[in-house]
Structure 1
Amino acid sequence: MFSQQDLQVIDAVARRGSFTAAADELCKVPSAISYTVRNIEERLAVNLFIRLHRKVKLTPAGEYFVIESRKLLKQMAHMTFQTQRVANGWNQSVSLALDNVVHEGRINTMVGDFYNAFPDVELLLTMEVYNGVWDALVDSRADIAIGATATIPVSGGFDYRGMGKLKWTFVISPNHPLAQAQQPISNAELAKYPVICLDDTARKLPKRTTWLLENQRRLVVPNWHSATQLLKGGLGIAIMPAHMANKLLMTGELIEKELITTLPVSDCCLAWNTKRMSPAVQWLLDYLGDSDQLHQQWLE
């Protein structure tokens, strides 16, 4: 019904707020822009813009049309890009899901080495939480998962390599009321304060929580960065991967306290979908190394 050029004109007028500014952006004369807009409005039998002295303003119908037209423009661009990729042999990608507990500093080196080895293959990275890593594998959103924790909740065409144990540390702000509590701190005392929990990103598999006491309020956040900010502000308590906590303990931003109960120790692993093997996937599995290398580079 509308050409790509038609939609681009409407988008430009909406963003720039005038026919003249849109014409400058699109290298056209204002009369051509005005004609295109009027033609589209006549075909729709609605006004998309309110004409002011030197500017235009979207009508409610215009706002809706712009939102939908931008979706179409994005789809057109994606279709063009994908078609060109296939024509040029760029039709391969590797999806990699990382659990939020791993060292992010290692990612840059891995990406750089991968693109040097495979200049025509895309690397798609996502950050997942808890069972979200396994969920990404099961749902074919990921070919490889780094740092998957706990018992493997899936069966079938998957293999894994151990990464060792992930240790946890109980941490709070030096200004938190529990900072002055007698150690070891009891569960009854802990339960008075909200526990900061990461939101499991699993879509199909059951979600899980690493540490939560009975009848304790949760403060749910998307990642460890957000959790750290809340911990520093004394807004909650939490257990944190030891390798993350150590830096904050050394600077005094957080403090460690002893609990009456034993903290969990999580088994971590590198996992992959054996049905989606390719030279690029095999290269990554070799590159990531054995269990000792994985633990040293991603969990210490």
Structure 2
Amino acid sequence: MHKSTLEQWGLLDEVVRHGSFANAAEANHRSQSSVSYNLAMLQERLGVTLLETQGRRTVLTPAGEELLAQVRPLLKAFYTLEKRAIAIQNGERSRIELVVDSILPRENLFSVLREFQRRYPRTQVNVTEVLETQVPDSDHADVLVLSQRQPGSGRGEWLMNVDFVAVAHHAHPLLQQDGVISAEQLAAYPLIRIADSQHFSVLQERNHGEVWSCSTIEAAIEAVTHQVGFGWLPETRIQAALAAGTLKVLPLQQGVRRATALHLLINNHIIVIDASLQTLLNLLREQSWH
């Protein structure tokens, strides 16, 4: 049998915060005698004096400060638990699984997540990034933003286009030539692509030249920046490098820019879209993706 309860420790915390039994009782809609009785029982059962009077204020003793400091994390966790229970009762989700293609502009994504957190602070959003060539486990995802509508991945709608631009380091040999660059000239240098290793041979055959495959956008950008090769990179990710002149757009005969469409999808197993999930969908749709 425990000698104390969370309710008693909670009342102790309230008395300290409000400075007196009377103020704590009023703030918690209780009688002053009820607060006094509970704290008297707490101190009696523990055998420790927790409170003392200083002027008109009731403050903690050194022992009270030490013990309450250890209890406060438990009180916070318990209050969070109760709020979570209320949220569940009101139909709020505790968690949303969001899968996004790695080319989705992060600045915009984080803007969506910040606003969602402000509206639903007790709903956790788990974000998983995937490559275009990867097929995510859509059964465990609630919302997906993908470049392809894989079978069974859910209902889908166009969300945005991601612009890719052909670039190389400003000192790369391709940029030392005069005039436009032909396909034959490009083929003499490695192409940096964003793809997983299992698709390397396929990409190599399609481009009829040397292809270096990077598993992340960041790695592809670094490879181009270090003159390993040239590549089509997401324009939003390299704006700073373009502005600084570190990377430059290649003067190709054609195909300088490419666009990949991203689609917003919902898991097929979700029959009813609750308020929190609808809010996330709306925020993704409303975001200015540029």
Normalization by structure 2: what TM-score? 0.59
Q: Describe the SS at the equivalent of 1:140.
A: helix
CA RMSD of aligned residues (A): 3.4
Name the CA distance, whole Å, in 1 between partners of 2:171 and 2:219: 18
- Give the Å deviation of 1:287: 2.1
Q: Describe the SS at the equivalent of 2:269.
A: helix
The AA in structure 1 aligned to 2:125 is L
Match of 2:269 among 248, 267, 275: 275
Distance 1:139 1:161, change over 3 A: closer
The AA in structure 1 aligned to 2:247 is L
Distance 1:201 1:177, change over 3 A: closer
- Give the Å deviation of 1:207: 9.1
Name the CA distance, whole Å, in 2 between partners of 1:164 and 1:212: 29
Match of 1:226 among 207, 219, 223: 219
User: How many residue pairs align between the two structures?
Assistant: 203
Check the 8 A contact 1:97/1:127 in 2, yes or no: yes
Check the 8 A contact 2:169/2:224 in 1, yes or no: yes
Distance 1:270 1:208, change over 3 A: farther
Sequence identity (%): 17
1:169 and 2:165 aligned: yes
Residue by residue, what CA displacement relative to the aligned partner does 1:42-99 show, whole Å, maximum 9, x if unpaired? xxxxxxxxxxxxxxxxxxxxxxxxxxxxxxxxxxxxxxxxxxx8xx658831111122
**Residue equivalent to 2:235:** 242
Match of 1:152 among 143, 149, 152: 149
Rg larger for? 2
Check the 8 A contact 1:198/1:209 in 2, yes or no: no
Check the 8 A contact 1:191/1:213 in 2, yes or no: no
Unaligned runs of 5+ in 1: 1-84
Q: Describe the SS at the equivalent of 1:184.
A: coil
**Residue equivalent to 2:74:** none
Unaligned runs of 5+ in 2: 1-80
Q: 4+ residue runs of structure 1 moved beyond 4 angstroms?
A: 88-91, 206-213
1:251 and 2:244 aligned: yes
**Residue equivalent to 1:43:** none
The AA in structure 2 aligned to 1:190 is L
Normalization by structure 1: what TM-score? 0.57
1:198 and 2:198 aligned: no
